[in-house]
């Protein structure tokens, strides 16, 4: 029962030997999650490009961006006494330029049994101090042969100060682990892309890059990552620069000898797809999941980090493909065996053609996610009309839909909560009833295979939610009823990392 330990650090004074839990348990732990909650998280939150010189860290912290929870020998001694530790997760819930200093990372990554390293929210090595040896060659050992390296940043844009150091630190890690890694997830901004293109990746099954599309190298991704022949899951969730346009993963005009480099691919995400992308014409027969979202999603606009920033320095640019252009993308797709499809588009006169086409082209879909946006605020949404073209999908079990109802609540200024914009509670309750009626009409319109409907709904939390409904059908009377289940938060990644 002690194989997995999850604890929050930073609520008390600096680490002590009893810092985490009784030493008698240390030798059983295989997976340790440390949730950083240190007081100094506020440092680095307000100044993303350069350290705020007016703020001085306490004297025992060597730099404004260094997290004090990972300082000193105690935390290292504690981890060293966990001989079964194979997975280390370091997390925080806030967007900060703040993280473990290199000395700790260098130590943790050399733990001999460590195979999985995960960091969420914190910054991977925000700074290297003058007395820190910047390498991974530790006395008596080196970097562990990691199979999983997953790094998810909450904030990536505008973090120029930290990114140059991070990129060098990540390059050190990847140079040591590229042979063993099976799973790699990185924010795109500090990812050492040129190095990744040069290394070989004989075991990499899963690659995920999320953040702003890089300006260099300009090599098409189909060539850049052709050195990852074992990929089964590829997620390219790349934002388009404010002055840029969507780019193809496989642009037209490449030499005829160009081959699809990932024959075992089963799951593919390409955010902001380009209508002329040759990639979609070469998808392998084993592909089961295709996601073509916008990045960032328009429907999470109210929750994106820029809204928290009083100066709105990081305004977001949204790119939304129109239904007619998305139809062009899907018509190129060579993946008739798809089981899961996600699309996002602005409605136009071809929307019904799009939905009819996908129902015919991908008859084996078991789940479908549609994020649609009305072209005009005056349009009234008739949800039966939207989903009727999908009624021929005889294996569809789960439908997720952002219908863009005109009845969606709007936020108002709440004086009692410091002038914050909030959704009025009674409006949210009224909207919940609207969604329930819509879910029932959807269930009655679609095939009897449907088991679950999830509808987008706003919330006053850190992101929107899905309102979930189970579908029940009486085989004798063909009567359909639904039951509301617990709401679930939108994927955190939709709101973070932008």
Residue in 344, 430, 437 with CA at minimum distance from that of residue 384: 437
- CB of 67: closest distance to Zn ion in angstroms? 3
Collapsing DSSP to helix, strand or coil, 195 comes out as: helix
Q: Which residues contact 53 (CB under 8 A, 6 or more apart)?
A: none
Based on CB atoms, which residue is closest to Zn ion, 64 or 300?
64
- CB of 41: closest distance to Zn ion in angstroms? 5
Stretch that binds Zn ion, among 35-43, 148-156, 286-294, 409-417 (CB under 5 A): 35-43
Residue in 455, 121, 95 with CA at minimum distance from that of residue 304: 95
Residue in 414, 485, 497, 421 with CA at minimum distance from that of residue 459: 421
Summarize the chain as % helix, strand, coil (round to 5): 25, 20, 55
Q: Which residues pair with 267 in a beta bridge?
A: 233, 289
Q: Is 36 in the site for Zn ion (CB under 5 A)?
A: yes
Based on CB atoms, which residue is closest to Zn ion, 122 or 434?
122
- CB of 469: closest distance to Zn ion in angstroms? 40
**Position of tokens 């020998």?**
73
Q: Is 154 in the site for Zn ion (CB under 5 A)?
A: no
Stretch that binds Zn ion, among 38-46, 126-134, 183-191, 298-306 (CB under 5 A): 38-46
Q: Is 99 in the site for Zn ion (CB under 5 A)?
A: no
- CB of 493: closest distance to Zn ion in angstroms? 22
Tokens at 53, concatenated: 């010189």
Q: Are 329 and 280 in contact (CB under 8 A)?
A: yes
Q: Is 38 in the site for Zn ion (CB under 5 A)?
A: yes
Q: Which residues pair with 150 in a beta bridge?
A: 118, 185
Residues 54-93 that bind Zn ion (CB under 5 A): 67
Based on CB atoms, which residue is closest to Zn ion, 151 or 280?
151
Q: Is 35 in the site for Zn ion (CB under 5 A)?
A: no
Q: How far apart are CA 403 and CA 372, in angstroms?
A: 6
- CB of 379: closest distance to Zn ion in angstroms? 47
Based on CB atoms, which residue is closest to Zn ion, 35 or 207?
35
Specify burial of residue 153 (Cβ count, 10 A radius: 0-12, 13-18, 19+): buried
Based on CB atoms, which residue is closest to Zn ion, 47 or 142?
47
Strand segments (E) across 144-229:
148-153, 183-187, 206-212
What phi and psi, each to the nearest 5 degrees, are found at residue 82? -120, 80
Stretch that binds Zn ion, among 37-45, 49-57, 308-316, 444-452 (CB under 5 A): 37-45
Q: How many helices (H) and strands (E) does the chain have?
A: 11, 19
How many other C-beta atoms lie within 10 A of the C-beta of residue 486?
A: 8
Stretch that binds Zn ion, among 32-40, 317-325, 343-351, 466-474 (CB under 5 A): 32-40
How far is the CA of 119 from the CAs of 87, 160, 285, in angstroms? 11, 19, 34
Residue in 183, 115, 117, 179 with CA at minimum distance from that of residue 144: 115
Stretch that binds Zn ion, among 28-36, 184-192, 210-218, 408-416 (CB under 5 A): 28-36
Based on CB atoms, which residue is closest to Zn ion, 38 or 368?
38
Stretch that binds Zn ion, among 31-39, 47-55, 370-378, 433-441 (CB under 5 A): 31-39
Based on CB atoms, which residue is closest to Zn ion, 38 or 453?
38
- CB of 59: closest distance to Zn ion in angstroms? 17
Residue in 131, 439, 71, 465 with CA at minimum distance from that of residue 302: 465
Based on CB atoms, which residue is closest to Zn ion, 36 or 116?
36
DSSP state of 66: B
> What binding mask, one character per residue, do residues 272-311 give for Zn ion by CB under 5 A, x or -?
----------------------------------------
16, HSE (Cβ side, Cα atoms, 13 Å):
6
- CB of 456: closest distance to Zn ion in angstroms? 34
- CB of 98: closest distance to Zn ion in angstroms? 6
- CB of 108: closest distance to Zn ion in angstroms? 15
Residues 205-244 that bind Zn ion (CB under 5 A): none
Based on CB atoms, which residue is closest to Zn ion, 38 or 204?
38
DSSP state of 82: -
Based on CB atoms, which residue is closest to Zn ion, 67 or 330?
67
Based on CB atoms, which residue is closest to Zn ion, 67 or 271?
67
Tokens at 424, concatenated: 């009025």
Stretch that binds Zn ion, among 29-37, 110-118, 302-310, 424-432 (CB under 5 A): 29-37
The strand pair at 420-422 and 412-414 is best described as antiparallel
How many chain residues are in contact with Zn ion, going by CB under 5 A? Answer: 3
Which residues lie near Zn ion (CB under 5 A)? 36, 38, 67
């Amino acid at each position: 029962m002690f194989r997995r330990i999850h604890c929050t650090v930073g609520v008390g004074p600096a680490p002590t030997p009893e810092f985490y839990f009784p030493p008698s348990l240390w030798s059983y732990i295989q997976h340790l999650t440390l949730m950083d909650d240190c007081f100094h998280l506020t440092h680095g939150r307000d100044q993303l490009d350069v350290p705020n010189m007016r703020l001085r860290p306490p004297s025992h912290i060597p730099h404004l961006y260094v997290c004090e929870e990972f300082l000193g020998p105690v935390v290292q001694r504690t981890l060293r006494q966990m001989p079964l530790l194979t997975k280390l997760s370091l997390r925080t819930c806030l967007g900060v330029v703040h993280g473990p200093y290199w000395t700790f990372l260098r130590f943790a990554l050399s733990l001999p049994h460590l195979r999985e390293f995960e960091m969420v929210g914190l910054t991977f090595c925000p700074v290297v101090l003058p007395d820190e040896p910047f390498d991974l060659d530790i006395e008596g050992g080196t970097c562990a042969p990691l199979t999983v390296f997953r790094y998810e940043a909450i904030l990536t844009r505008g973090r120029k100060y930290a990114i140059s150091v991070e990129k060098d630190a990540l390059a050190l890690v990847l140079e040591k682990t590229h042979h063993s890694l099976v799973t790699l997830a990185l924010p795109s901004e500090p990812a050492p892309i040129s190095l990744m293109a040069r290394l070989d990746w004989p075991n990499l099954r899963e690659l995920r890059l999320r953040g702003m599309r890089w300006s260099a190298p300009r090599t098409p991704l189909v060539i850049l990552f052709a050195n990852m022949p074992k990929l089964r899951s590829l997620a390219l969730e790349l934002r388009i620069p404010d002055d840029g346009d969507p780019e193809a993963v496989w642009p037209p005009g490449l030499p005829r000898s160009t081959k699809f480099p990932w024959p075992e691919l089963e799951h593919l995400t390409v955010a902001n797809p380009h209508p002329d992308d040759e990639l979609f014409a070469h998808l392998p027969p084993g592909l089961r999941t295709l996601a073509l979202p916008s990045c960032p999603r328009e429907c999470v606009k109210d929750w994106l980090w820029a809204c928290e920033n009083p100066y709105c320095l990081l305004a977001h640019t949204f790119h939304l493909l129109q239904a007619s252009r998305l139809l062009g993308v899907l018509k190129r797709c060579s993946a008739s065996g798809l089981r899961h499809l996600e699309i996002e588009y602005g409605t136009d006169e071809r929307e019904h053609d799009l939905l009819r086409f996908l129902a015919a082209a991908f008859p084996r879909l078991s789940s479908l996610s549609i994020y649609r946006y009305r072209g005009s605020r005056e349009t009234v949404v008739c949800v039966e009309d939207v989903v009727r073209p999908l009624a021929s999908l005889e294996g569809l079990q789960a439908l997720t839909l952002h219908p863009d109802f005109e009845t969606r609540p709007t936020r108002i200024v709440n004086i009692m909560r410091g002038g914050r914009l909030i959704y009025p509670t009674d409006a949210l309750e009224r909207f919940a009833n609207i969604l329930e009626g819509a879910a029932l009409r959807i269930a009655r319109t679609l095939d009897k295979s449907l088991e679950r409907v999830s509808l987008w709904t706003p919330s006053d939390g850190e992101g929107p939610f899905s309102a979930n409904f189970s579908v029940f059908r009486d085989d004798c009377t063909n009567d359909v009823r639904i039951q509301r289940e617990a709401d679930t938060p939108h994927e955190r990644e939709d709101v973070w990392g932008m």
